[in-house]
Structure 1
Amino acid sequence: MTDAPAGARAREALAGLTGLGGFFSLAAPPPPGSDALPWADVLAAPALEARFHAVRRALAEGDGLPVDELDPKVAVSAVQVGLASRLWSVALGSAVLHGWVPDLGSASLLASPVHRGTVPLGVADPLRGYAVDDLPEAASVIRDVVVDDSLAALVSACASVGRTPARVLTSNATSALVGGARVLAAARPEHADRAWELARLLLADPVVARGGGAVDPASLPEGVGGAMQRPDEAFLRSGCCVFYRLPGHGLCPDCVLAPGRPEQVTPGH
């Protein structure tokens, strides 16, 4: 899985991810005394239920609502899309910029089990991962370790524990992939072509494609469709994140409901 050159790539990738900040952050390894736990424990029912409740309370307080007036599925969606965004961002950033994919499989992955914990995402061994020499190879590795493993476990756990339809969560995950490519391309414009090429390769995967895909913007009402790289493509998801149930939050531009309700789209969401 690793050799000396790959180890050098791993170190460069981790340093590069640190420079990107935000959802690209990866603790490798987490600092001593952190609250990081294995991915399976993070997704276990007791931890997820507590996390959903904490996020529901935070969202309700932010909007001045009693907790019981905020749809619990909004909190489930928020938790899941946040973790999915981190998985995609780390995988895309390290692969595109450094030819390296950290081992983000569920057996290697760590994270804080609580909302706003000290380790949003981490791995125990910073040198464990995959050197990838081209984008098709990167896409293949990411399918194996993220799409079919850690991300699948995240979707399954949130659907079961959070009693939220898998369609919502699958479309969240695919939308998060497009969002990760968009942020990476903006942060490193010299690598924008590679970021979007890798995103397109992943969108072609049947599992990822269940959550949405690129459509012709000319087929959509004005203001509908998530921005992609080219003027002839826009992203439309197959489900709804249900954030529109928050006060003052309309439909996202890429929402499955947006083509039929363009007047309800909130630009920039």
Structure 2
Amino acid sequence: MTLGDAYRRVGRDALEFRVTKVARALSVSEARVAVSVAQLGLAARLWSVALGSAALFGRVPDLAPERLHWNPDASAPDDLFLAMGPSDLPADAETLCALVLDRHLEPLSAALRARHRISAPLLRGNAGSALAGAAREISRWARGAHRPDVATRARLLTAELFEDPRLATTGTRTGSAFRRTSCCLYYRAPGGGLCGDCCFGRPPQHSSPPAASG
């Protein structure tokens, strides 16, 4: 199944399958926690491939939803594979925003929100967090590989990407550090704790909701 099919709910409901799988893995009864974690994971994969290719090769593979196949039952790196064919696109911020935000993360958010009660700002916060995390990992690799050119390209591209209004309000960047303005809800999973870029200083107190909560 392609990601385009998943967003349009063609055939089996792959997104719902993934959310259910994540909920079981985390032992959570709140659907919105599993929705957030599932979306964050996919956002991280998409940003990593796009930004990494741009920084390393100066070109980006065409990750069009119709060409990018997804196995919702698999884990990274085996869950995504790209159809054969011409795939080179310019490695500029406008292209990356159009490719990852417009064609993937916005339709993904809409598809998930049509099924579950979860806020758009939270999902956009996940998109910003995933981008910041991808940038840090690429820079870390570049330092170890003695490729300062790759680190520089990743840094400049990331700064441009965060100028997009959909990402600009998702958090505060200080160097490679990122502090979100929203929470991904991972702390609500048993033993979850806080992520490194969480907006909270300590996990909020909460009571367990009924299993049907979303």
Q: TM-score range by the shorter chain?
A: 0.7 to 0.9
CA distance in 2, matches of 1:92, 1:118: 16
| Contact residue 60 and residue 87 of structure 2 kept, 8 A | no
CA distance in 1, matches of 2:59, 2:76: 26
1:158 aligns with 112
Out of 160, 170, 180, the residue aligned to residue 201 of structure 1 is: 160
Match for 1:46: what amino acid? Answer: D
2:49 aligns with 90
Structure 2 residue ranges without an equivalent (≥5): 205-214
1:40 aligns with 4
Structure 1 residue ranges without an equivalent (≥5): 1-36, 61-68, 133-137, 216-227
1:109 CA displacement: 2.1
Q: Which has the larger radius of gyration?
A: 1
CA distance in 1, matches of 2:178, 2:31: 27
Residues 72 and 251 of structure 1: CA distance in aligned 2, closer, same or farther (over 3 Å): same
Question: TM-score, normalising length from structure 1?
Answer: 0.66
Q: Deviations over 1:91-140 (max 9, x none)?
A: 011100001111112233221133538842222135323144xxxxx111
1:122 aligns with 81
Confirm or deny that 1:248 pairs with 2:202.
no
CA distance in 2, matches of 1:196, 1:80: 24
1:56 CA displacement: 0.7
Confirm or deny that 1:144 pairs with 2:108.
no
CA distance in 2, matches of 1:263, 1:51: 29
Out of 181, 195, 200, the residue aligned to residue 238 of structure 1 is: 181
| Contact residue 194 and residue 202 of structure 2 kept, 8 A | no
Aligned pairs for 1:173-184 (under 5 A) are 173-184=127-138
TM superposition outliers: structure 1 runs of 4+ over 4 Å: none
| Contact residue 104 and residue 123 of structure 1 kept, 8 A | yes
| Contact residue 51 and residue 115 of structure 1 kept, 8 A | no
CA distance in 2, matches of 1:126, 1:185: 29
Q: Deviations over 1:167-187 (max 9, x none)?
A: 211101110000000111111
1:237 CA displacement: 1.5
Percent of residue pairs identical = 39
CA distance in 2, matches of 1:58, 1:249: 12
Q: Deviations over 1:50-103 (max 9, x none)?
A: 22111111211xxxxxxxx53221111111011100110000111000011111
1:56 aligns with 23
1:157 CA displacement: 1.5
| Contact residue 55 and residue 151 of structure 2 kept, 8 A | no
Q: How many residues align?
A: 196
RCO comparison, higher one (Cα < 8 Å, 6+) = 2
| Contact residue 89 and residue 180 of structure 1 kept, 8 A | yes
Confirm or deny that 1:111 pairs with 2:70.
yes
Question: TM-score, normalising length from structure 2?
Answer: 0.82
Higher alpha-carbon deviation: 71-80 or 157-166: 157-166
